[in-house]
Structure 1
Amino acid sequence: MTDKPIEVLIVEDDPRIAEINRRFTEKEEGFSVVGIARTGEEAVTWLEVVEPRLVLLDIYLPDMRGTELVRRIRGEGKDTDIIMITAAGETEIVQEAIRGGVVDFIVKPIQMERFLKTLQNYRRRLERLKASGTMTQQEIDRLWNPGTADTASRWAGVREVPKGIDPLTLEKVVSVLRASPPPGMTAEETGQAIGASRSTARRYLEYLVSVGEAVADVSYGSVGRPERRYVLKSAGKGVPK
């Protein structure tokens, strides 16, 4: 446990959802909500005044997109982490958020179990950073995927992952799928989101299908060309800890 509560700023224009986020956050030990901002500009003011450690950020705000606020936070060099809460699964939004350093995604409708697990993982990440002087590769892997020594093996429920499947890349693919509601994402869209080729993304997606953790369906684009779309079997499902 950290020495003092992790201060959280909620940025959400819907009062009902903001209240749900506040209640969920305060259910988790070690977190304290210091404010709720309804707009991006209001969030900027809160960030200047209270300097929270964590921002729970909605993607659509009345005066700007959440990704614009992410850029402003990073541009000002603030020591603030961001978890994005969104109903959107567009590839470009997920990709932009990942590039901006968003540490996790929670997709609406919000599930309390997934919400609390996200906060728990984030808290453990801070604790490891505070405790570590120098870090081994295994410790960095665990920092990226909290509580996991062998991310892909434990997530997929197998003893060893196949050759060509990297645990960290697999987790990136899982995160992208988690942030994308049905009808899911194509291999090309997934590759763009994680910065990999279409063929690489397809290899990881098909691996998830083969171990029963994702499903693929065929849909037809605007020109009638069939394409496979992938989605996690259970919304909000992540790496077991």
Structure 2
Amino acid sequence: MKDIEVLIVEDDLRIAEIQKRFIEQIKGFQTIGIATSYIEARNYIEVLQPDLILLDVYFPDMNGFDLLKETKQETKQMDVIMITATKEIHKVQEAVSIGVFDYIIKPVVFERFKQSLTRYQEYYQSLLKLGKENLYVTQQQVDQLLRKEMDGELKDKSYLPKGIDPLTLDKVLEVMNKVDAGLTAEFVGKEIGVSRTTARRYLEHLISEEKVDADLAYGTVGRPERVYIVKRDSAIKK
């Protein structure tokens, strides 16, 4: 099967080059051009007919949403992933309503980028297969084609911040789920074979995910110690 051809539409060449290098690390994709302006983007789209466009919003000579609308109106066989620093909820809503495949907020993390392209690749290949084998499709086939989440590890673990390893996080979750009482970072660290500092980093991450609460335990001697307690009203899941 041929590679999925990608056009990068981004006026910052440094960012465009990063995206290109990201693409090179994902099997099955090929960058066929980088457009930094409206004219370049229109020419590339008309001549090269890419399968997928990675599109920013703000350019000196255009708004990416205008190009997105034109593309959707003129070329039905071309998909778009918005990659932008634009965070306003109404802009996200507009992008979704126009028909973007995904919306990624800068700065782009490689794992999030890879997840998006891998999901698109799955969609693209499924669409080609359905087109070859069927004139009409069933509801089940449509549901499978349009599902928004990947199975397996990419589904949740691609969003983990730097310094949080999914396997170690799983071990912390197992320990926390076994005990109803509050646990210290030192106890958790000993249970899974890591330092107190490392265990605390993972426990603080779980707090940020609103899966764990923290409190202070007062002993007979010494300073109060921070303990971590599972939020039982929202049970921890791997």
For 1:75 and 1:144, locate their aligned partners in 2 and report how far apart those are by CA, in whole Å: 20
Write the distance in 2 (CA, Å) between the matches of 1:13 and 1:141: 36
Deviations 1:37-94 (A, max 9, x none): 0012210011011110100001111111111000111222342100000111112211
- Partner Cα distance (1:60, 1:96) in 2: 15
Q: Deviations over 1:200-241 (max 9, x none)?
A: xxxxxxxxxxx958xxxxxxxxxxxxxxxxxxxxxxxxxx9x
Matched ranges for 1:1-241 at <5 A: 3-132=1-130, 133=134, 134-145=136-147, 212=210
AA aligned to 1:37 is A
**Cα distance in 1, alignment partners of residues 149 and 89 from structure 2:** 28
Runs of 4+ in 1 over 4 A off after TM superposition: 146-149
Counterpart amino acid of residue 141 in structure 1? D
Match of 1:183 in 2: none
**Shift of residue 108 of structure 1?**
0.5
1:72-123 per-position Cα deviation (integer Å, ceiling 9, x unaligned): 1122234210000011111221122112111101111100001011100000
Q: CA deviation at 1:142?
A: 2.6
Q: Which amino acid aligns with 1:142?
A: Q
Cα deviations across residues 120-163 of structure 1 (Å, max 9, x unaligned)?
A: 000000111122224443432332225658xxxx87xxxxxxxx
Check whether the contact 1:124–1:146 (CA below 8 A) recurs between aligned residues. Answer: no
What is the alpha-carbon distance in structure 2 between the residues aligned to residue 60 and residue 47 of structure 1?
A: 18
Distance change in 2, residues 1:61/1:73 (3 Å): same
What's the TM-score once normalised by structure 1's chain length? 0.58
Aligned residues: 153
**C-alpha distance 78-140 of structure 1, shift in aligned 2 (>3 A):** closer
Q: Aligned partners of 1:144, 1:127: CA distance in 2, in Å? A: 12
Identify unmatched segments of 5+ residues in structure 2. 157-208, 212-237
Tell me, yes or no, if the aligned pair for 1:25 and 1:33 is still in contact at 8 Å.
yes
Note the residue ranges of structure 1 that are not aligned, 5 or more in a row: 156-210, 214-239
Q: Distance in 2 between matches of 1:87 and 1:139?
A: 35
Give the structure, 1 or 2, with the largest relative contact order (CA under 8 Å, sep 6 or more). 1
Distance change >3 Å, CA 46–CA 110, structure 1 → 2: same
Query: What's the Cα RMSD here?
Result: 2.3
CA change 1:147–1:84 in 2 (3 A) is closer
Q: Give secondary structure in 2 for the equivalent of 1:13.
A: coil
Contact 1:83-1:106 at 8 Å conserved across structures: yes
Q: In percent, how many aligned pairs have the same letter?
A: 44
Counterpart of 2:200 in structure 1 is none
Tell me the distance in 2 between the aligned counterparts of 1:147 and 1:127: 16
Partner Cα distance (2:38, 2:56) in 1? 10
